[in-house]
Structure 1
Amino acid sequence: MVRSGGYLLDNRQPQAGVRFDALTELFDPCTFRHLTRLGVADGWRCWEVGAGSRSVPAWLAARTGPRGRVLVTDIDLSWLDGPGADDLEIRRHDVGTEPPPAADLDLVHTRLLLTHVPQRDRALASMIAALRPGGRLLVEEADPGLQPLLCPEDRTPEEQLANRLRRGFRSLLAGREADLAYGRTLPRRLREHGLTEVGADAWFPISAPACTVLERATVVQIREQLVQHGIATDAEIDRHLAALDAGRLPDLATAPMVSAWGTRV
């Protein structure tokens, strides 16, 4: 484990936008499927926690209509403000340290957030407290601990280098208080908070073009940390990026995203 401070994947870096686009392509269909099944409809009051980008909030705004409310919060609003945000109520908020910004909500949703929040237990309790009785919670978290390999076959030197870089990435995350096994614990945690109708599943993309886009943007974003902590040399990182650009690593995987849901009593 490599110990350091702060969030590893800073949203203010230009690669963050590329990562958000890739995550949108990989995970929005799964998220929208769950939100549809949970019954999101006209007039619902929703809180999107740690949104990062606008794809999910925009879907919620279209679904809930003018009678609904979509509150969108994050500690960094870099990719939320601007044109196209008129139907959203956007607010800077730290779910791990501040009280809920709304109450009596029909839906609270978060995706790929709590793994990285040191006060994740407090954050989860805050999201549940914001629901009305009968309100629905959907929490979706990556579980990097369930993904030992970026390249599932691990045969060629290029695949083995890619997997070593991914192990280094997980070490950097763990050193910044990320919980790499948080996703698999979500069903238990929701039950412990008294939610009913708890269920969960996982989505594990492999070989999608967006996996390559996500990997490249992530490695470029954390390159300095990889070199600084002796995980890889600049030459090795250049070799990995060249392999991605040349299409020699077509079968990449992401960490599985665990989606867990429940109803407040």
Structure 2
Amino acid sequence: MMRTDRYLLDNRQTEAGSPFDAFAAVFDPTTFRHMQGFGIGSGWRCWEVGAGGTSVISWLAKRVGPTGKVLATDTDTSWMTSPTRAPVEVRVHDVGLDMPPGEGFDLVHARLALVHVRDRERALRAMIKALRPGGRILVEDTDPALQPLLCLEEYGPEQQLANRLRHACLTLLAERGADLAYGRTLPRLLRQAGLRGVGADAYFPVASPACAALETTTIRQVRDELVSSGLATEQDIDRHLANMASGGMDLATAPMISAWGRKA
């Protein structure tokens, strides 16, 4: 994800690796399904924006092969702990501030990234500029305002606490400049940018074990912020973590909206 000095989930935090694994478990199948639909194959040049973890770039690298290229960028690349091999290149880059790191890409992809960028409009323009004629863009972001609950059925105190803490996390994100309704705007923004064949869908997991893993790692990362801001107590957070660990809660995520288009 693109970082600012106010970004809530920092790569450099001790547990930053765990959220990447949880995001991959929840969202990779949807992302890969869309990319396969584009016909990605040998020789493609791909730009992974706000790469975060390694699951997407590893998947891309296998499909583009030694004649292709996968450029993975982020403002913090400390998540890449081992040396990369061709066709993967990792580069420090802020899509909201810097010029595109090249042009002529067959595919540009950003997942759960632009919502955290201050200048989202500039970032999207940079991504589109980097495409070759006929190149594809896939932008994926959640829309918490569309579905803000962690527990869709709030039938007991455990579910009520979970939803209260979810709202608290969304409050922190909004205070740091995240647009909690950004996902729904993506199809319109791609059409307005002149892209062809624009489409979109949404993925909305409910009662998935991966959702519990994602929520657990997220809460552990932001617990200090929640407590210091007065949005939750240490006891609230400990009880919520214990409730999830029991395995008896049906947890959901906000819908992730995937939007795509082709450069004319």
Q: CA deviation at 1:164?
A: 0.2
The amino acid of 1:48's aligned partner reads E
Counterpart of 2:258 in structure 1 is: 259
Counterpart of 1:60 in structure 2 is: 60
Q: CA deviation at 1:5?
A: 5.8
Which segments of 5 or more consecutive residues in structure 1 lack a partner in the other structure?
Answer: none
Trace 1:1-265 onto structure 2 (pairs within 5 A).
Answer: 6-83=6-83, 85-249=85-249, 251-265=250-264
Q: CA deviation at 1:81?
A: 4.0
Pairs aligned (count): 261
The amino acid of 1:123's aligned partner reads A
Q: CA deviation at 1:80?
A: 2.2
Q: CA deviation at 1:196?
A: 0.5
Aligned-partner Cα distance in 2 for 1:56–1:85: 15
Asked if 1 retains the 8 angstrom alpha-carbon contact of 2:66 and 2:86, the reply is: no
- Misfit runs of 4+, over 2 Å: 83-87
Which segments of 5 or more consecutive residues in structure 2 lack a partner in the other structure?
Answer: none
The amino acid of 2:180's aligned partner reads L
Deviations 1:12-49 (A, max 9, x none): 11222111101101111100000000111110111000
Asked if 2 retains the 8 angstrom alpha-carbon contact of 1:43 and 1:69, the reply is: yes
Aligned-partner Cα distance in 2 for 1:59–1:132: 21
Aligned-partner Cα distance in 2 for 1:98–1:5: 16
Asked if 2 retains the 8 angstrom alpha-carbon contact of 1:100 and 1:126, the reply is: yes
Aligned-partner Cα distance in 2 for 1:183–1:98: 23
Q: CA deviation at 1:85?
A: 4.5
Asked if 2 retains the 8 angstrom alpha-carbon contact of 1:202 and 1:257, the reply is: yes
Aligned-partner Cα distance in 1 for 2:172–2:211: 20
Aligned-partner Cα distance in 2 for 1:72–1:247: 36
Secondary structure of the residue aligned to 2:110 is strand
Q: CA deviation at 1:215?
A: 0.6
The amino acid of 1:31's aligned partner reads T
Aligned-partner Cα distance in 2 for 1:228–1:97: 31
Asked if 2 retains the 8 angstrom alpha-carbon contact of 1:208 and 1:252, the reply is: yes
The amino acid of 1:115's aligned partner reads V
Q: CA deviation at 1:245?
A: 1.3
The amino acid of 1:259's aligned partner reads S
The amino acid of 1:209's aligned partner reads P
Q: CA deviation at 1:100?
A: 0.1
The amino acid of 1:78's aligned partner reads S
RMSD: 1.3
Asked if 1 retains the 8 angstrom alpha-carbon contact of 2:106 and 2:135, the reply is: yes
Aligned-partner Cα distance in 1 for 2:64–2:148: 39
Q: CA deviation at 1:83?
A: 4.4
Asked if 2 retains the 8 angstrom alpha-carbon contact of 1:47 and 1:107, the reply is: yes
Secondary structure of the residue aligned to 1:236 is helix
Deviations 1:70-93 (A, max 9, x none): 111000112124145553111000
The amino acid of 1:186's aligned partner reads L
Aligned-partner Cα distance in 2 for 1:148–1:134: 36
Aligned-partner Cα distance in 1 for 2:172–2:5: 10
Aligned-partner Cα distance in 1 for 2:5–2:91: 25
Asked if 1 retains the 8 angstrom alpha-carbon contact of 2:96 and 2:119, the reply is: yes
Aligned-partner Cα distance in 1 for 2:17–2:81: 13
Aligned-partner Cα distance in 1 for 2:31–2:235: 38
Asked if 1 retains the 8 angstrom alpha-carbon contact of 2:104 and 2:132, the reply is: yes
